[in-house]
Amino acid sequence: MPYRAPVNDFRFLMDHVVGFDQVAATDHFAETTPDMTQAILAEAAKMSEDIIAPLNRAGDLHPAHLENGIVRTSPGFADGYNAIAEGGWIGMSASQESGGLGLPMTLTTTVNEMLAGACLALQLSPLMTQGQIEALEHHASDMIKALYLPKLISGEWSGTMNLTEPQAGSDVGALRTKAEPNGDGTYAITGQKIYISWADNDFTQNVCHLVLARLPDGVPGTKGISLFMVPKLIPDADGNPGAQNDLRVVSLEHKMGLHGSPTAVMEYSGATGWLVGEEHGGMAAMFTMMNNARLGVATQGVGIAEAALQHALAYAQDRKQGKASCSGAIFEHADVRRMLTTMKADTYAARAITLMNAVAIDMARATGSAEWQARAAFLTPISKAFCTDVGCEVASVGIQVHGGMGFIEETGAAQYARDVRVATIYEGTNGIQAMDLVARKLMDGGEAAFRILEEIENGAEAAKATHPALAEAVWQAAESLRETTEWLVAQSDLSARFAGAVPYLRAFARVLGGHVHLASAIKGDAGRTRLATFYIKRMLPEHVGLLVHAREGATDLMAITADDLAA
Amino acid sequence: MPYRAPVNDFRFLMDHVVGFDQVAATDHFAETTPDMTQAILAEAAKMSEDIIAPLNRAGDLHPAHLENGIVRTSPGFADGYNAIAEGGWIGMSASQESGGLGLPMTLTTTVNEMLAGACLALQLSPLMTQGQIEALEHHASDMIKALYLPKLISGEWSGTMNLTEPQAGSDVGALRTKAEPNGDGTYAITGQKIYISWADNDFTQNVCHLVLARLPDGVPGTKGISLFMVPKLIPDADGNPGAQNDLRVVSLEHKMGLHGSPTAVMEYSGATGWLVGEEHGGMAAMFTMMNNARLGVATQGVGIAEAALQHALAYAQDRKQGKASCSGAIFEHADVRRMLTTMKADTYAARAITLMNAVAIDMARATGSAEWQARAAFLTPISKAFCTDVGCEVASVGIQVHGGMGFIEETGAAQYARDVRVATIYEGTNGIQAMDLVARKLMDGGEAAFRILEEIENGAEAAKATHPALAEAVWQAAESLRETTEWLVAQSDLSARFAGAVPYLRAFARVLGGHVHLASAIKGDAGRTRLATFYIKRMLPEHVGLLVHAREGATDLMAITADDLAA
- Yes or no: say if B328 and B418 are a contact pair by the CB < 8 Å rule: no
| Rg over CA atoms, chain A | 23
**Three-state SS at A408:** strand
- Yes or no: say if B168 and A330 are a contact pair by the CB < 8 Å rule: no
Would you say residue B381 has pLDDT above 60? Answer: yes
Of B5, B426, B548, Cβ closest to residue A541: B548
What is the rounded distance in angstroms from the CA atom of residue B540 to the CA atom of residue B469? 13
β-strands B157-162, B206-214 pairing: parallel
Q: Which of A5-14, A81-90, B206-215, B315-324 has the lowest mean pLDDT?
A: B315-324
Q: What are phi and psi of B206, to 5 degrees?
A: -155, 155
- Return the DSSP state at A73: P
* Residue B563 burial class via C-beta count within 10 angstroms: exposed 0-12, middle 13-18, buried 19 and up: exposed
Residue to mutate among A49, A326, A560, with most B CBs inside 10 A, is: A560
The reported pTM is 0.97
Q: Is residue A403 left, alpha or beta, with left meaning phi > 0 and alpha meaning psi from -120 to 50?
A: left
**Three-state SS at A264:** strand
A71-A74-A79-A82 Cα dihedral, nearest 10 degrees: -50
Would you say residue B43 has pLDDT above 90? Answer: yes
Confidence label for B325 from pLDDT (cuts 50, 70 and 90): very low
Would you say residue B474 has pLDDT above 60? Answer: yes
> What domains are there in chain B, each with its CATH number?
432-560 (1.20.120)
- Yes or no: say if B230 and B186 are a contact pair by the CB < 8 Å rule: no
Contact A560 B531 (CB under 8 A): yes
* Chain B residues with CB-CB distance to A340 below 8 A: 565
What is the rounded distance in angstroms from the CA atom of residue A44 to the CA atom of residue B494? 45
Q: Which amino acid is at B208?
A: C
> Of A38, A41, A57, A36, whose CA–CA distance to A5 is shortest?
A41
Contact A543 B543 (CB under 8 A): no
Question: What are the helix and strand counts (H, E) for chain A?
Answer: 21, 11
pLDDT tens digits for A93-128? 999 999 999 999 999 999 999 999 999 999 999 999
What is the rounded distance in angstroms from the CA atom of residue A468 to the CA atom of residue B560? 20
Contact A333 B498 (CB under 8 A): yes
Stretch (H or E) spanning A136: helix A120-139
Residue with the bigger pLDDT between A309 and B171: it is A309
Q: What is the secondary structure of A431-492 as a DSSP string?
A: HHHHHHHHTGGGTTTTHHHHHHHHHHHHHHHHHTTT-HHHHHHHHHHHHHHHHHHHHHHH--
**Three-state SS at A31:** coil
Q: What is the mean pLDDT of residues B537-561?
A: 98
Would you say residue A517 has pLDDT above 60? Answer: yes
Q: Which amino acid is at B412?
A: G
Indicate the average pLDDT of chain B: 96
B277-B283-B289-B294 Cα dihedral, nearest 10 degrees: -170
Which chain B residues in 32-91 lie under 8 Å from chain A, judged by CB atoms? none
* Chain A residues with CB-CB distance to B539 below 8 A: 549
Of A306, A503, A567, Cβ closest to residue B310: A567
β-strands A70-72, A65-67 pairing: antiparallel
- Yes or no: say if B112 and B351 are a contact pair by the CB < 8 Å rule: no
Q: What is the mean pLDDT of residues A498-504?
A: 98
Would you say residue A208 has pLDDT above 90? Answer: yes
Q: Which amino acid is at A210?
A: L
- Yes or no: say if A87 and A43 are a contact pair by the CB < 8 Å rule: yes
pLDDT at A170: 79
Please tell me the distance in Å from B531's CA to the nearest CA on chain A: 7
**Three-state SS at A531:** helix
What is the rounded distance in angstroms from the CA atom of residue B327 to the CA atom of residue B330? 8
pLDDT at B290: 81
Whether the CB of A313 is below 8 Å from some CB of chain B: the reply is yes
What is the rounded distance in angstroms from the CA atom of residue A297 to the CA atom of residue A303? 10
What is the rounded distance in angstroms from the CA atom of residue A441 to the CA atom of residue A374? 8
Whether the CB of A408 is below 8 Å from some CB of chain B: the reply is yes
Most distant CA atoms of chain A, gap in Å: 83
Would you say residue A518 has pLDDT above 80? Answer: yes
Of A422, A503, A538, Cβ closest to residue B552: A538
- Yes or no: say if A312 and A340 are a contact pair by the CB < 8 Å rule: yes
pLDDT tens digits for B94-121? 999 999 999 999 999 999 999 999 999 9
- Return the DSSP state at B380: H
* Chain B residues with CB-CB distance to A404 below 8 A: 164, 169, 194-195, 422, 425-426
Q: What is the mean pLDDT of residues A131-141?
A: 95
CA angle A337, B562, A308 (to 5 degrees): 70
- Yes or no: say if B174 and B168 are a contact pair by the CB < 8 Å rule: yes
pLDDT at B447: 98
What is the rounded distance in angstroms from the CA atom of residue A88 to the CA atom of residue A74? 22
Counting one residue from chain A and one from chain B, the pairs whose CB atoms sit within 8 A come to 274
Predicted-assembly ipTM surpassing the 0.95 threshold: yes
Confidence label for B169 from pLDDT (cuts 50, 70 and 90): confident
Q: What is the mean pLDDT of residues B521-544?
A: 98
Residue to mutate among B253, B331, B335, B495, with most A CBs inside 10 A, is: B335
What is the rounded distance in angstroms from the CA atom of residue A377 to the CA atom of residue A360? 9
- Yes or no: say if A52 and A119 are a contact pair by the CB < 8 Å rule: yes
pLDDT at A324: 40
| Rg over CA atoms, chain B | 23
Contact B195 A404 (CB under 8 A): yes
Q: Which amino acid is at A122?
A: L
Stretch (H or E) spanning B145: helix B142-154
What is the rounded distance in angstroms from the CA atom of residue A537 to the CA atom of residue A530? 11
What is the rounded distance in angstroms from the CA atom of residue B299 to the CA atom of residue B130? 13
CA A339 to chain centre: 24
Q: Which of A288-292, B88-92, B155-159, B561-565 has the lowest mean pLDDT?
A: A288-292
Q: Residue A508: which residues within 8 A CB-CB, separation 6 or more?
A: A382, A437, A449, A481
What is the rounded distance in angstroms from the CA atom of residue B359 to the CA atom of residue B511? 19
- Yes or no: say if B257 and A409 are a contact pair by the CB < 8 Å rule: no
- Yes or no: say if A433 and A379 are a contact pair by the CB < 8 Å rule: no
Of B322, B334, B404, Cβ closest to residue A164: B404
Indicate the average pLDDT of chain A: 96
- What's the sign of the alpha-carbon dihedral B339, B341, B346, B347? positive
Question: What are the helix and strand counts (H, E) for chain B?
Answer: 21, 11
How many Cα atoms sit within 13 Å of B331 on the Cβ side? 20
Which chain A residues in 490-549 lie under 8 Å from chain B, judged by CB atoms? 495, 498-499, 501-503, 527-528, 530-531, 533-534, 537-539, 541-545, 548-549
- Cα distances from A96 to residues A93, A143, A149, A530, B515, in angstroms, run 9, 17, 11, 43, 63
pLDDT at A325: 45
Would you say residue A291 has pLDDT above 70? Answer: yes
- Cα distances from A275 to residues A210, A219, A224, A289, in angstroms, run 10, 17, 14, 15
pLDDT tens digits for B397-419? 999 999 999 999 999 999 999 99
Confidence label for B557 from pLDDT (cuts 50, 70 and 90): very high
- First and final C-alpha spacing in chain A: 45
Q: What is the mean pLDDT of residues A439-465?
A: 97
Whether the CB of B245 is below 8 Å from some CB of chain A: the reply is no
* Residue B424 burial class via C-beta count within 10 angstroms: exposed 0-12, middle 13-18, buried 19 and up: buried
Q: What are phi and psi of A242, to 5 degrees?
A: -115, -125
Would you say residue B78 has pLDDT above 90? Answer: yes
What is the rounded distance in angstroms from the CA atom of residue A145 to the CA atom of residue A442? 34
Would you say residue B441 has pLDDT above 70? Answer: yes
Would you say residue A352 has pLDDT above 50? Answer: yes
Q: What is the mean pLDDT of residues B223-231?
A: 97
Residues pairing with B196 in the sheet: B264
Q: Which amino acid is at B372?
A: W
A43-A44-A49-A53 Cα dihedral, nearest 10 degrees: 150
Of B323, B335, B337, Cβ closest to residue A560: B337
Which chain A residues in 375-394 lie under 8 Å from chain B, judged by CB atoms? 392
- Yes or no: say if B544 and B480 are a contact pair by the CB < 8 Å rule: yes
- Cα distances from A459 to residues A466, A472, A475, in angstroms, run 12, 11, 9
- Return the DSSP state at A346: H
